Amino acid sequence: MTEKPVLIPKPNEIFFKETVINKSRFLAYCKNVDDVSQATDFLAQIKKKHYDATHNCYAYVVGDFVKFSDDGEPGGTAGKPILNAIQQKGFIDTIVVVTRYFGGVKLGAGGLVRAYGGAANDILAVVPTCKEERAVDISVKISYANFSAVTNILSVKALTVNNVFDTDVTVCATVKVEDLQQVLTAIRDAVNGQAVFSVGEEYNLRI
């Protein structure tokens, strides 16, 4: 089964959205983080900015590592709902911090879950994203006579294409792993097997 591409917030930007529920302010922040140290640094930045807040609850996913905190809210009512929002929407390398300024009206456990989860869902819904796909680089050495046929195939399936012209033509391309066998088969058929292929290692590519 092909894995669903994951989403990553647009790098180098901080995204913000505020919600008011029963007089409590919920300030949601979201940012791309490439490692745990970036996540902890961003969390410290928000806590410093909102040192007077009632709670600074958060969750982050960095690769396969996850962490979340209720920061004084009843257990399971804040950090976990934020984490669930991140995971259900398919985000990785992402931190969401929801800062609460208590407005005097208690929300109850269910209300808190909806408030924190809703704040996280709302910010993630408006964050510009890029996708991370499993990709692989290939090169195909062909004759000039077959150049057009190969580039027509790659124009549909390749993420990037670069051509090197010499005695023959070497077409270098990046394709999704899920499309690799289809692309190789199509090229072989188009050139009647008259091609030399090189296939690199799989890697994660942000697009």
Tens of pLDDT along 131-152?
878 899 999 999 999 999 999 9
Angstrom distance (rounded) from CA 91 to CA 88:
8
Decide: pTM greater than 0.75: no
Helix (H) or strand (E) holding 80: helix 79-88
Tens of pLDDT along 145-194?
999 999 999 999 999 999 999 999 999 999 999 999 999 999 999 999 99
CB atoms inside a 10 Å sphere around CB 13? 11
